[in-house]
């Protein structure tokens, strides 16, 4: 009865919301119709691509521009749907949070969303990410004039191309998104967005270099920050001497399978080692050794995990992520993969680099477990690395890049 009562409560709440917000109801109905047409046409999901003509230059309408105040810019962010616990949206919202503090107005236009309405999106952002005051709007068909419009993921670059009521078009590039797909249609669709001529705001030096050298784009970068109010040394928490935590999100760029196979070897060699997985609520396959799955953790619980563990392990096969430096800020020695994307950011000694062979990963884990002096060295150099990082500093650099594009 309790479950039925809650469902009915949610149902009537939704009915009342859509009666009082008819525009949102219209948007949701439109999206449902367009996702699959009456003939089951799967290509309708690419309507946002078919609506633009890339043969025509991306133009600006000078008579539609608003008066620009460099101390109070108006920024339109074009967003795709988001999950909970994702680093990409977190970076965007942290930057927006500081841009608001700097005096700028931000609007977030969602191309689509699994969430019922804009109020629910606002609640999800506040609960699982960070508070922002910017207006949230469904759909990109009627975007208001702004100083700069910013694409945030490859699908969002397409409606940005057609928009012409702005002074600058920018691309907030957090990863090399073609690599999220096999080499096929969506790889090409994603890569084509780097040929639209946007100025790039790249997350880190490696992406910045890629945008400049391979795609010949005007690009600058910011460093990913660390929230040191959350991720910091905590002497009240006793660090375990035999515990490995592994960011085991089951997506290809996290090389989760290689980490699991390496940890299986470690567990066979050292049965007493505690292995904690996190980053995903459930795995739809068997993990072949004793472990604890911590699931998707909030910020505070992540900090506790990093403060208690002996070693943290995280892989990234595309751009670097915020995870290693949040581990470092808690004094946790980090094992991560080699590769230009990572070695462009971290120096040897700040993290323990490993080749992505199962035996090599397992050997590095055992080596660090057996050598407290090595762990201390990695921990100290990691702490030195994150010392100058902050999200305010990151947002200041983003502001600088935006202002430069408008000059």
When mean pLDDT is compared across 279-288, 294-303, 307-316, 331-340, the lowest value belongs to 279-288
**Structural domain tally of the chain?**
2
List, for residues 380-402, the tens digit of each pLDDT value: 999 999 999 999 999 999 999 99
* 33: in domain: no
Are both 153 and 266 inside the same structural domain?
Answer: no
Are both 152 and 297 inside the same structural domain?
Answer: no
Beta carbons of 345 and 205 less than 8 angstroms apart: yes
Domain CATH number, residue 101: 3.40.50.11090
Are both 154 and 268 inside the same structural domain?
Answer: no
Domain CATH number, residue 266: 3.40.50.2000
Are both 221 and 289 inside the same structural domain?
Answer: no
| DSSP codes of every residue in 270-308 | -TT-EEEEES-S--SS--SS--EE--SPPHHHHHHHHHH
List, for residues 331-361, the tens digit of each pLDDT value: 999 999 999 999 999 998 999 999 999 999 9
Are both 216 and 254 inside the same structural domain?
Answer: no
Beta carbons of 247 and 278 less than 8 angstroms apart: yes
C-alpha–C-alpha distance, residues 368 and 352, integer Å: 9
List, for residues 29-45, the tens digit of each pLDDT value: 444 444 444 445 566 77
* 12: in domain: no
Are both 61 and 199 inside the same structural domain?
Answer: yes
Are both 201 and 322 inside the same structural domain?
Answer: no
**Global pTM?**
0.85
Are both 219 and 269 inside the same structural domain?
Answer: no
Are both 106 and 190 inside the same structural domain?
Answer: yes
* 401: in domain: yes
Give every CB contact of residue 309 below 8 A, 6+ residues apart in sequence.
239, 240, 243, 244, 245, 276, 332
Per the structure, the complete domain to which residue 66 belongs is given by 49-225+396-406
Tell me which of 190 and 285 has the higher pLDDT.
Answer: 190
Are both 188 and 255 inside the same structural domain?
Answer: no
Are both 209 and 164 inside the same structural domain?
Answer: yes
* 135: in domain: yes
Radius of gyration of the chain, Cα coordinates, nearest whole angstrom: 23
């Amino acid at each position: 009865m309790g479950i039925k009562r809650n469902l009915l409560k949610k149902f009537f709440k939704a009915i009342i919301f859509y009666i009082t917000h008819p525009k949102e109801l219209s948007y949701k109905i439109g999206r449902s119709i367009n996702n699959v047409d009456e003939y089951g046409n799967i290509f309708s999901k690419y309507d946002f691509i078919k609506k633009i003509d890339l043969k025509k230059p991306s133009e600006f309408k000078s008579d539609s521009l608003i008066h620009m105040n460099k101390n109070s810019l108006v920024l339109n962010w074009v967003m795709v749907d988001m999950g909970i616990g994702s680093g990409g949206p977190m970076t965007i919202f942290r930057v927006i949070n500081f841009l608001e503090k700097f005096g700028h107005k931000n609007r977030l236009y969602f191309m689509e969303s699994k969430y019922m309405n804009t109020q629910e999106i606002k609640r999800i952002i506040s609960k699982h990410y960070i508070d922002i005051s910017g207006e949230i709007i469904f759909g990109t068909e009627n975007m208001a004039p702004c100083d700069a419009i910013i694409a945030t993921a490859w699908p969002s670059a397409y409606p940005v191309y057609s928009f012409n009521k702005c002074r600058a078009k920018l691309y907030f590039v957090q990863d090399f998104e073609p690599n999220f797909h096999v080499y096929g249609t969506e790889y090409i669709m994603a890569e084509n967005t780097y040929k639209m001529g946007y100025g790039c705001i790249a997350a880190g030096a490696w992406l910045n270099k890629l945008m400049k050298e391979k795609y010949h784009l005007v690009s600058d970068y910011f460093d990913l920050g660390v929230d040191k109010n959350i991720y910091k040394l905590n002497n009240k928490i006793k660090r375990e001497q035999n515990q490995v935590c592994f960011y085991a999100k089951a997506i290809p760029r996290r090389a989760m399978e290689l980490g699991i196979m390496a940890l299986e070897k470690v567990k066979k060699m050292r049965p007493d080692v505690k292995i904690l997985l996190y980053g995903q609520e459930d795995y739809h396959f068997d993990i072949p050794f004793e472990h604890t799955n911590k699931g998707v953790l909030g910020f505070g619980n992540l900090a506790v995990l990093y403060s208690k563990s002996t070693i943290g392990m995280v892989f990234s096969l595309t751009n670097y992520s915020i995870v290693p430096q949040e581990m470092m800020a808690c004094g946790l020695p980090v094992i991560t993969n080699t590769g230009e994307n990572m070695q462009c950011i971290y120096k040897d000694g700040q993290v323990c680099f490993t080749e992505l062979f199962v035996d090599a990963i397992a050997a590095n884990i055992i080596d660090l477990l057996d050598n407290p002096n090595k762990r201390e060295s990695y921990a100290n150099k990691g702490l030195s690395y994150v010392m100058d990082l902050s999200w305010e500093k990151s947002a200041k650099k983003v502001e600088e890049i935006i202002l430069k594009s408008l000059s």
